[in-house]
Structure 1
Amino acid sequence: MKRSSLIVVLLVAVTIGATAQIRVNTSHSGAIRTLLHDARTGRLLTGGDDGKLKVWDYSAGELQRSIQISSLAIHQGTLHPSLPQVALLVTDGRRRFTLEVWDWEQERRLFTQTLPEAPIFLTYSPRGTFLLFAQNEFNSLRFLASSTGRSLPYLRRGSGIVTFATVASSEERIMTYTPSDGVITYWEVVSGRQVQTISTAREIDQLSVHTNRRFAVGRLDNELVVVDIVDGTLRDRFPMSGIERILVNQVNGDVAVMTRSGRQIEMASFRVSERGRLSRAMSTVPTLPSGLTQATLHGDALFVATGDGTITTFESTDRRGRTIAENRVQSVTGFAFTEGTVHLSTAQQILSLRSDLFGETDVAVNRVRTLDVTTRRMPQPGTVRLSAVTGPDSDESRVVVWDTSGRNPELATYAAVAPALTTIPLDSARVTKQVVSADGRLIVLHDQTTLRRIDPDTGSTDFTYTGEGMEALVAVGDTIVIGKNRANPFDSALMRVDTRTGETVRIQSDNFLIFDLVYDRARGVLYTLGLQQSGSVVRTTVTVHRGANFENRRTISTYDGEDLDARLSLDPATGRLFSSLGMEGVSVWDGRRLTRISAVAHVPRALYVANRHLFSINRDGTMSVWDLRSGDPLLTFYLFRDGNWVAVTTDGYYFASHSRAEQHLSLLAAPGRTGRRRTLEDFRLILPTTARDA
């Protein structure tokens, strides 16, 4: 265990929170699906499964902007040719498809449009007047005014299912390709008049126009082909199996072809002659990562992105590449709170932060005076969760640690002031889904099939219940209420078990699955979070239950679709219920109406109320903190893989575990700022540190 005593002192001479922004130099928390090079600014833009758009200064390896575009994944993107605008497709991959258009410099949404499906392609016109995309229907082309999203009445006659299109630089004509009949067609954009049709090969995909504007390259079966888009002739073909993507370098016209064989990805470079003939380009072949998800070319540089959020650039003579960005965050997996101390777990360690900020009295972030940090290394890495337990006669709470992976068949406990973890062996390596505290004892749910009540001091079990499909539980007096998967139409997804007699009673519910429960003991109200189905439509709902057996129920919040990572948390002092349902922030139910608290640039998932604050473990692995009374966000914690951490406040300051943590930060200066250039030190809350190893 390592413990540090930290005293926080605000730099009172600096009042510049609004003149610059602190950036945490970490990449996406999941796969990167969109990778765009902006030739106008020399920036790299990435979009990922985390729903964030990030803007990089790739030469310095610094993050310039991070914008939470949506809670859904970003799967496609295209850049405006002359303005700082980007059009993005966000989707859940099934039923939700939305076109989001943003000014990325001002971090401002311009417009959105709901789409019936993912477009076949998405692009701006050469002058940026309109957006063009295609849908999988006979009249497939759609035109939108790029500034407003207004639908434009162009090419309304049946163009067939178009898989590729390119617009002339004048924006007066457009060329389309329909693979079903192998026809290239030239149209007048505004009138929709068909100018010319040309026959070529059918079922060519991954088409890209070469920089000479006479040829296009694409894939036809297991061949790379060059198509003359004036007469439809296949000018050349090169046998290649497993073509995954074709890139045309818009600077020098080189063509890069990436092929996959199993997990191995290889790249070959070609040049296209004036007559459309292919020749292999002599260049260094880069060693590409097997998890590659996106790639783009610009000049001598190849940029690639992967499923773990890593961005790498390869220069023309560079085989190994240079890492521009990677996910530096060590995800927070668990949370517990004891006597003014926040406990956070990761796969490798537990961080305990004791501060007057988290006490019972109201302390502003810029008035924080103490922060004691204790680090405990996990004896065995795993997917760690935490719970706090307080016995009826105990003077101090303890924290319970468990692993949800099933690899470590034990629980562990520790007191906030004690260095050691005390283990409680479990009888088998079953998956531990949930551990809750009830009157000084632990109720443990294993494998969706068994729950038992354990004395944390002796490890002995005094109650066991066996069932099927159990997902969540909460103690209600001498009973345990269980949320589960409904076994049949006559079953219920909600039930209670009497721990004295073992008797079970069904509770009426409209859900077929309940995966989170919260009980308001002071008001006798039960809240459930689960799935309902009406026909083929599945919704995630929050329901309030009242009555002797909670038989009176009312749905208070609904999300169209499944949101199985959403969670509930209750403020016992006021009875307010907090929910992360819908991935669009945190909603609050006060018993009469539903409102939202101020949003953060993250997607809150697990929620916890402690003293005067609301805490959320976010989808990207960070933790955010709100003031309960005002609903205003205060700060966000980032725990890094190298063991350091920073907390960035809402008004633009930060405090850190060590000066080494500042390597993860950069400063984006406000536009138009004059006078002395600000540095990171101007925004730092000083933390004089003394450390000892126990």
Structure 2
Amino acid sequence: MIRRISPFLFLTLVLILGSILQLPAEVTVRSSHTASISSMERRMDDNLLATASEDGSVKIWNTREGFLVSSIQASHLAIPKLAIHPKLPRVALVTTDGINTFRVELWDWETKEQIFSKKIEEIPLFIAFSPSGSLLIYAETDWQSLIFLNAEKGFEEHKIKEGFGIVSAVFITASEKTLLAYTPSGTLRYFDLSTGEAKANPIRTKSGLNQVQFTDDGLFLFGIEGNTLYAVSLVNGSIVSKQDIKGLLSISYDPDSSNIAVLSQQATETELSIFSIIRDSGSLRFEKRNLPIKTGRYIPHIISFRDEMLFSGDNEGEILLHQLYSGETVVFARPRIAAIADFDFSERGMLLSLKSGEMVLIESDLFSTNGNQASFFRTKSFNAPYNTAAGAVVLKDGSFLVFPTASAPAPLFRLDPSLGTFTRIGEVQNPVVEAGNADQEGNIILVEASGTVSILSPSGRKNLSQSSFGIRSAAKVSDTNIIAGRSNTGTLSSSLLKIDMQTGETVPVTNRDILVFRTTYNDITKSLYTLGYEERRGQLRTVLKSHGGHAFERESTLLTYPGEDPDASFVADPNGTDLYTSLGYSGVLLLKWDGFTSLERIEHIPRRLALHKNLLFSLNRDYSISMWSKNDGRALLTFYLFDDSNWAAVYEDGATFSSPEAKKLLHTK
């Protein structure tokens, strides 16, 4: 059956010399986070908004002009909290895996360098800078709760001599002479920071307040408990006002306008309300200022309110700006990079499979030689044969095998990129978890989620097939034999199996891993390489190993990462002995006969790797694609496909090559 694509979009863009801009400085791409916004904070002196995300990135935005000032991929771990320095281009972060790794880090967003990192025991209750920025303060759930770090060097400074319980919020005077601490048990404590001594007896106050925020003059605090917003006097601890708000989620106090923004859940949608803070003869009351702002389809969960500009962040990485007077909600920034699920190369170009179900073929000299300035760029877009994302692997004749990765039973298709047609050539009963070239003859190896492994001919026709429970990956090691990676559970208690694809004979291969999830075989070195998990002294590690010998019984650990890295990948040079890997989230490593070397670092986290001609490519965690020279390991460029089909290539020397409309997403400092 031949399926012709409709509509079939063919776009040819030939850019003249003037469209290749020689940029002397850093280029930022105006795209928001790829995961939930977890923290945000404003700095009013220069109209900056700092945002952090579960994707491990930090972004600094200019709120008046709307451009992205800086973007840092600070970690592969989530960032639940941040604090922006009051004067310098620095931001403090908390990074964590939510289990046993917790760190406080300080970064310079201009140089994109980490200044210091400190291991801690848990996610702090808060993190903040002192008014001058000389101290970085956070709180642990401990009797001596407050920790003071020198904000330049990161060493601890002992500012308070006595322990007095858990602290969830602090206020420091502008002179940095006095600190006020609020404890969830319901006390206010004043301290002299120059002596470390208490300045007064503890003051009893309302207990159990969350999201505590202070007025600039140090007279009142605001906090929430349940569905009630409280205002508390810092002089005597009394509750001076309270406001019941159904579905109360979050608050943000704006000292510039003396208003407080409230985020609440109302029936099927969230809404934002503004309350004016009315002071009269030492008293205070809340007065609702406007009709609630409906957020519609957006579901914000965190807000930041300063200078009458109200921002919020949602679970999709979008940053929203809420118009106080019109009641409108507009998108300030959203993820703009198209979510790429898979990619591969033919002589015609690079095929991208998007999570939306679309497939895009890119023909350009951009991805050919050594990252020289490109002269042409053509794209073809296809309606994918499935309603969900598909995978693709190139066949020997330059066409692509297209397979389902999310739902099955489903057909296998052969995509002819020149005609834009999908020809059905087979079927799988389960989603495909791995596919790749099996050997130099052009055969394809296919692994289904059920544990079925198939060898397909260069035309994509199925020749051999065998099944074993739990197989995650497989590599062809001889004419009829494969080595399969899996969990070590079951009758054959090994995470590697040798399977004869003709007879079905299956034997275990000696291996210490509890799970192998990636395999590849180098026919030149006769070595099998694996990525898997190994437990050592109660700690799980992700390990890259080589296996040799007649039965691959000789096991050698090449690289270890302390923890899980399930998306790590590797690729072996089919014409040599080199092996490239992205294990460890810190870049790309090259294994040669004399050990590992690092390829030039990039500002992204490489994940899936691919080789094409004399170039190495990585599909990064933020869906950008980076390119290196195999010859010397130089980073050449990073390519972005945007969600509106526009595109841009940002070279390491600062030059760009892009579609005309993409230029508005590129900002140069």
TM range (shorter): over 0.9
Alignment counterpart, residue 353 of structure 1, candidates 345, 359, 362: 362
Q: Which residue of 2 aligns with 1:214?
A: 219
The answer to whether the aligner puts 1:338 opposite 2:346 as a matched pair is yes
The offset of 1:55, in angstroms, is 2.0
- The residue that corresponds to 1:162 in the other structure is 167
Residues 1:146 and 1:363: Cα distance change in structure 2 (over 3 Å) = closer
1:276 Cα deviation from its structure 2 partner: 3.8
Taking the aligned partners of 1:383 and 1:364, their CA distance within structure 2 comes to: 29
- 1:386 deviates by 1.4
Partner Cα separation in structure 1 for residue 146 and residue 44 of structure 2: 27
Displacement, 1:436?
2.8
Deviation at 1:202, TM superposition (A): 2.4
Work out whether residues 212 and 221 of structure 2, in 8 Å CA contact, stay in contact via their aligned partners in 1: yes
Q: How does 1:80-229 map to 2 (within 5 A)?
A: 80-180=85-185, 182-196=186-200, 197-229=202-234
CA deviation map 1:440-473 (0-9, x unaligned): 44432222332233457584x4433222211111
Alignment pair present for 1:623 and 2:633:
no
Distance across 2 between alignment mates of 1:593 and 1:454: 35
Instruction: Provide closer, same or farther for how the CA distance between residues 262 and 608 of structure 1 changes in structure 2, counting only shifts above 3 A.
Output: farther
User: Which AA in structure 2 matches 1:316?
Assistant: L
Q: Could you tell me how far apart the structure 1 residues matched to 2:477 and 2:623 are?
A: 31
Higher mean C-alpha displacement, 505-514 vs 290-299: 290-299
* Deviations, residues 621-652 of structure 1 (Å, cap 9, x unaligned): 11111111111111111111112212121111
Is 1:33 the counterpart of 2:57? The answer is: no
Determine the C-alpha separation between the residues in 2 that align with 1:5 and 1:256: 49
Per-residue Cα deviation, 1:235-271 (whole angstroms, up to 9, x for no partner) = 2222234322121112122122222357532333323
Q: Does 1:423 align with 2:420?
A: no
Task: Report the Cα distance in structure 1 between the residues aligned to 2:381 and 2:301, rounded to whole angstroms.
Answer: 36
Q: Is the 8 A contact 1:424 1:456 kept in 2?
A: no
With over 3 angstroms needed to count, the CA separation of the structure-2 counterparts of 1:467 and 1:664, relative to structure 1, is same
Q: Which residue is 2:610 aligned to?
A: 608
Distance in 2 between residues matched to 1:335 and 1:148, nearest whole Å: 43
Q: In the alignment, which residue of structure 2 is the partner of 1:471?
A: 472
Residue 325 of structure 2: aligned partner: 317
Cα 1:252/1:13, change in 2 over 3 Å: closer
Which of 286, 300, 304 pairs up with 1:279?
286
1:506 lines up with 2:513 in the alignment: no
Partners in 2 of 1:141 and 1:13 — Cα distance? 53
Task: Measure the CA separation in 2 of the matches of 1:214 and 1:190.
Answer: 21
Cα deviation for residue 491 of structure 1 reads: 0.6
The match for 1:580 among 579, 582, 585 is: 582
CA 1:618 to 1:253, structure 2 compared with 1: closer, same or farther past 3 Å?
same
Q: For 2:123 and 2:20, how far apart are their aligned partners in 1?
A: 52
Aligned AA (1:381): N
SS at 1:154 equivalent: coil
Q: Give the secondary-structure state (helix, strand or coil) at the position aligned to 2:340.
A: coil
Counterparts in 2 of 1:241 and 1:363: CA distance versus 1, 3 Å: closer
Distance 1:482 1:224 in 2: 59
Change (3 A) 1:10 1:541: farther
Cα 1:581–1:293 change in 2 (3 A) is: farther
* Contact 1:340/1:358, CA 8 A, preserved across alignment: no
| Higher mean C-alpha displacement, 143-152 vs 371-380 | 371-380
The change in CA–CA distance for 1:184 and 1:356 in structure 2 (over 3 A counts) is closer
> Residues of 1 paired with 2:224 and 2:241: CA distance?
12
C-alpha contact (below 8 Å) 1:284/1:318 kept by paired residues? no
Q: Paired residue for 2:558?
A: 556
Shift of 1:133: 0.5
In the alignment, which residue of structure 2 is the partner of 1:389?
Answer: 395
Report the alpha carbon displacement of residue 94 of structure 1 after superposing the two structures with TM: 2.1
Matched AA of 2:536: S
Cα offset, 1:611, TM superposition: 1.4
Cα distance per residue 1:595-618 (max 9 Å; x no partner)? 211111111100011210101111
**Residue-pair matches, total:** 654
Whole-Å separation in 2 of the counterparts to 1:223 and 1:355: 59
- Structure 2 partner of 1:646: 648
Please give the alpha-carbon distance, in whole angstroms, between the structure 1 residues aligned to 2:86 and 2:304.
Answer: 16
SS in 2 for 1:660: helix
Partner residue of 2:4? none
Q: 1:124 to 1:13 in 2, by over 3 A?
A: closer
Does the CA-based 8 Å contact 1:380-1:408 persist in structure 2?
no
- The answer to which of 211-220 and 613-622 deviates more is 211-220
Query: 1:681 is matched with which residue?
Result: none
Q: What SS class does the counterpart of residue 34 from structure 2 fall into?
A: coil
Deviation by residue 1:558-584 (Cα, 9 ceiling, x = unmatched) = 111111011111122331111111111
Amino acid at match of 2:650: V
Code of the residue aligned with 1:300 in structure 2: it is E
Matches within 5 A, 1:448-487: 448-455=450-457, 457=459, 459=461, 461-477=462-478, 478-487=480-489
Aligned to 2:546: 544
Q: CA RMSD in A?
A: 2.4
With 327-336 and 49-58 compared, the bigger mean Cα shift is at: 49-58
Quote the Cα distance in structure 2 between the aligned partners of 1:551 and 1:4.
53
Structure 1 CA distance for aligned equivalents of residues 376 and 213 of structure 2: 59
What does the per-residue CA deviation read over 1:316-337, in whole Å, with 9 as the maximum and x for residues that have no partner?
2031222211111112211112
Q: 1:261 to 1:540 in 2, by over 3 A?
A: farther
Q: Distance in 1 between matches of 2:23 and 2:253?
A: 43
- Tell me, in whole angstroms, the C-alpha distance in 1 between the residues paired with 2:325 and 2:598: 53
CA distance in 2, matches of 1:117, 1:302: 30
- On the 8 A contact 1:176/1:184 being kept in 2, the answer is yes
Cα distance between partner residues in 2 of 1:92 and 1:365: 40
Residue pair 2:67, 2:667 contacting (<8 A) in 1 also = yes
Q: Residue 372 and residue 185 in structure 1: after superposition, are their counterparts in 2 closer, same or farther (change >3 A)? A: closer
Which range moved further: 287-296 or 310-319? 287-296
Q: Is the 8 A contact 1:121 1:163 kept in 2?
A: yes
Deviations 1:81-132 (A, max 9, x none): 2222211112222222222212223433322222221111001111212011
Cross-structure match for 2:435 = 435
Residue in 2 that maps onto 1:409: 410
Q: Cα deviation per residue 1:640-691 (whole Å; 9 max; x = unaligned)?
A: 11122121211112222x32232332333xxxxxxxxxxxxxxxxxxxxxxx
Identity of aligned residues (%): 28
CA separation of 1:178 and 1:5: change in aligned 2, threshold 3 A: closer
Cα distance in structure 1, aligned partners of 2:416 and 2:323 = 53
Give the structure-2-normalised TM-score.
Answer: 0.92
Q: Which moved more, 1:552-561 or 1:271-280?
A: 271-280
Q: TM-score, normalised by structure 1?
A: 0.89
Q: Which amino acid is the alignment partner of residue 111 of structure 1?
A: F
Tell me, yes or no, if the aligned pair for 1:37 and 1:45 is still in contact at 8 Å. Answer: yes
- Partners in 2 of 1:630 and 1:455 — Cα distance? 35
Q: In the alignment, what sits opposite 2:3?
A: none
Q: 1:271 to 1:561 in 2, by over 3 A?
A: same
1:409 deviates by 0.8
Q: Do residues 375 (structure 1) and 377 (structure 2) align?
A: no
Partner of 2:64: 59
Question: How many Å separate the matches in 2 of 1:148 and 1:86?
Answer: 14
By how many angstroms is 1:215 displaced?
Answer: 1.3
Q: Give the aligned residue type for 1:662.
A: K
> Does the CA-based 8 Å contact 1:121-1:134 persist in structure 2?
yes
One-letter amino acid matched to 1:302 = L
Q: Which runs of 5+ in 1 are unaligned?
A: 391-395, 669-694
> How far has the Cα of 1:585 moved from its partner?
0.9
